[in-house]
């Protein structure tokens, strides 16, 4: 797929793209990605800032934020009992599995005392990259809760980026602090992709930011969030969960429109989920899941929630039911809370309706009448 067409003036010279010094440099051994299509899709001279109440991909869960990562759930509980070695060992074992490392650190950083014990860890082991990165993300979480100046969190992230130059996680923290698709957000996103081209959480964050562009003007079938999501999905390997990004873009754009009154508050009544673009996106995403879904990705349940939500809103309860079986009780805030709903209530109502409809139509364990025809799938 060719890169999305430019929608703004060319990007600034290279000297203006990144801060000087080691923080702005590509990590040793990493290939600098071609950032031109990213900037083309994201650049906008007048980006709109997200509304204060709008949920974003930065904090996706209302249930257990560890999702189905049992090791993480155990390590997260240990510091409260005075046992910090579990978290240290977990991060050491995680290594450079960047998606898993990002997920684990952002969850560990949710602990209200994470900044204190990460700081103590860093004092005990000066220069420890794991301690520096965890401390940075703990500051980010505090800033997002309004407990700390974002400038402090940004400084901690830049210090962590220097301590761990190959790690995209400090840059993920910087991206979590962004509140608009600004030039700074684009540069941060480029830094993440330079370290891990298919970073799952970072792509979700960029789509949430981009969906806000010109939302006050109402629906736009040619909005850049759709082009960016399609481009990113097609650039990824065939088995990459980034294949779900067009679904994420559709949900985030619905949120941006609905909070401004340009789409119904009840997503199941919105035409947004039933136009030609939506039909193509839903079919492609569900077909990808049938062929490629695997249990190994740390944030796969985030994707499954987006896909189940889309199928339910599209009016395809049999397909939604198959996804609900896979999700179990791992409900996430995004997208069930969109635009201003109780995520738990919306999730359980949709699951009950989908499973009930499936049982009445097919009986227990019936076939999935998928987008590509009838097929059975063990769930």
Q: pLDDT at position 317, please?
A: 95
Domains and CATH numbers, the chain: 203-379 (1.25.40)
Q: pLDDT at position 34, please?
A: 53
The predicted model gives 272-297 an average pLDDT of 89
Question: 75 in helix, strand or coil?
Answer: helix
CA 255 to chain centre: 15
Task: Report whether pLDDT(23) > 70.
Answer: no
What is the C-alpha to C-alpha distance for residues 244 and 263, in angstroms, rounded to an integer?
22
- What mean pLDDT value characterizes the chain? 82
Which is higher by pLDDT, 26 or 274?
274
Q: pLDDT at position 360, please?
A: 54
Query: How sure is the predictor about 351, in pLDDT bands with cuts at 50, 70 and 90?
Result: very high
What is the C-alpha to C-alpha distance for residues 376 and 43, in angstroms, rounded to an integer?
44
Q: pLDDT at position 48, please?
A: 46
Q: pLDDT at position 307, please?
A: 97
Q: 139-178: per-residue pLDDT in tens?
A: 999 999 999 999 999 999 999 999 999 999 999 999 999 9
Q: pLDDT at position 80, please?
A: 62
Task: Report whether pLDDT(181) > 80.
Answer: no
| pTM given for the model | 0.83
Q: At 196, list the tokens.
A: 């891990």
Task: Report whether pLDDT(22) > 80.
Answer: no
What is the C-alpha to C-alpha distance for residues 369 and 312, in angstroms, rounded to an integer?
14
Q: pLDDT at position 77, please?
A: 83
Q: 91-105: per-residue pLDDT in tens?
A: 999 999 999 999 999
Q: At 277, list the tokens.
A: 């673009």
Q: 209-249: per-residue pLDDT in tens?
A: 999 999 999 999 899 999 999 999 999 999 999 999 999 99
Axis crossing angle, helix 183-195 with helix 200-210, rounded to the nearest 10: 160
The predicted model gives 116-135 an average pLDDT of 95
Alpha helical stretches, state H, 3-128: 14-17, 36-42, 70-77, 85-94, 98-108, 114-124
φ and ψ at residue 373, rounded to 5 degrees = 115, 180
Question: 136 in helix, strand or coil?
Answer: helix
Q: pLDDT at position 44, please?
A: 54
14-23, 229-238, 248-257: the lowest-pLDDT one: 14-23
Which is higher by pLDDT, 171 or 44?
171
For 344, other C-beta atoms within 10 Å of its C-beta total 15
Query: How sure is the predictor about 132, in pLDDT bands with cuts at 50, 70 and 90?
Result: very high
Q: Which residues contact 144 (CB under 8 A, 6 or more apart)?
A: 58, 59, 176, 177
176-180, 271-275, 363-367: the lowest-pLDDT one: 363-367
Q: pLDDT at position 295, please?
A: 77
Question: 337 in helix, strand or coil?
Answer: coil
Task: Report whether pLDDT(53) > 70.
Answer: no
Q: Which residues contact 47 (CB under 8 A, 6 or more apart)?
A: 180, 181, 182, 212, 213
98-107, 118-127, 178-187, 217-226: the lowest-pLDDT one: 178-187
Q: pLDDT at position 357, please?
A: 66
Q: At 109, list the tokens.
A: 């950083």
Percentage of the chain modeled with pLDDT above 70? 76
Task: Report whether pLDDT(116) > 60.
Answer: yes
Q: pLDDT at position 19, please?
A: 34
Task: Report whether pLDDT(43) > 70.
Answer: no
Task: Report whether pLDDT(342) > 90.
Answer: yes
């Amino acid at each position: 797929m060719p890169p999305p067409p430019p929608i703004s003036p060319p990007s600034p010279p290279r000297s203006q793209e990144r801060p000087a010094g080691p923080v702005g440099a590509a990590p040793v051994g990493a290939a600098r990605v071609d950032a031109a299509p990213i900037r083309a899709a994201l650049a906008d001279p007048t980006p709109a800032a997200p509304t204060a109440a709008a949920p974003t991909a930065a904090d996706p869960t209302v249930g257990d934020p560890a999702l189905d990562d049992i090791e993480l759930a155990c390590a997260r509980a240990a510091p409260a009992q005075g046992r910090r070695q579990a978290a240290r060992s977990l991060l050491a074992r995680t290594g450079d599995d960047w998606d898993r490392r990002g997920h684990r650190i952002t969850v560990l950083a949710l602990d209200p005392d994470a900044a204190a014990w990460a700081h103590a860890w860093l004092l005990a082991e000066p220069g420890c990259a794991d301690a520096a990165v965890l401390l940075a993300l703990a500051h980010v979480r505090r800033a997002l809760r309004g407990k700390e100046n974002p400038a402090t969190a940004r400084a901690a992230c830049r210090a962590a980026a220097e301590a761990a130059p190959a790690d995209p996680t400090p840059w993920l923290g910087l991206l979590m602090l962004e509140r608009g698709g600004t030039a700074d957000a684009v540069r941060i996103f480029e830094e993440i992709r330079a370290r891990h081209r298919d970073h799952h959480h970072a792509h979700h964050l960029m789509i949430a930011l981009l969906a806000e562009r010109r939302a006050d003007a109402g629906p736009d079938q040619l909005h850049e969030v759709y082009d960016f999501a399609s481009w990113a999905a097609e650039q990824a390997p065939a088995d990459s969960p980034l294949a779900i990004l067009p679904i994420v873009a559709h949900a985030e754009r619905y949120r941006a429109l609905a909070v401004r009154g340009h789409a119904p508050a009840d997503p199941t009544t919105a035409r947004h989920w039933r136009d030609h673009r939506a039909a193509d996106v839903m079919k492609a995403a569900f077909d990808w899941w049938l062929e490629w879904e695997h249990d190994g990705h740390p944030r796969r349940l985030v994707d499954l929630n987006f896909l189940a939500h889309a199928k339910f809103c599209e009016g395809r309860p049999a397909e939604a039911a198959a996804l609900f079986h896979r999700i179990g009780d791992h409900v996430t805030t995004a997208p069930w809370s969109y635009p201003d709903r109780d995520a738990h209530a919306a999730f359980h109502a949709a699951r009950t309706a989908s499973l009930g409809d499936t049982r009445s139509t097919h009986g227990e364990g019936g076939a999935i009448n998928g987008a590509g025809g009838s097929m059975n799938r063990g769930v």
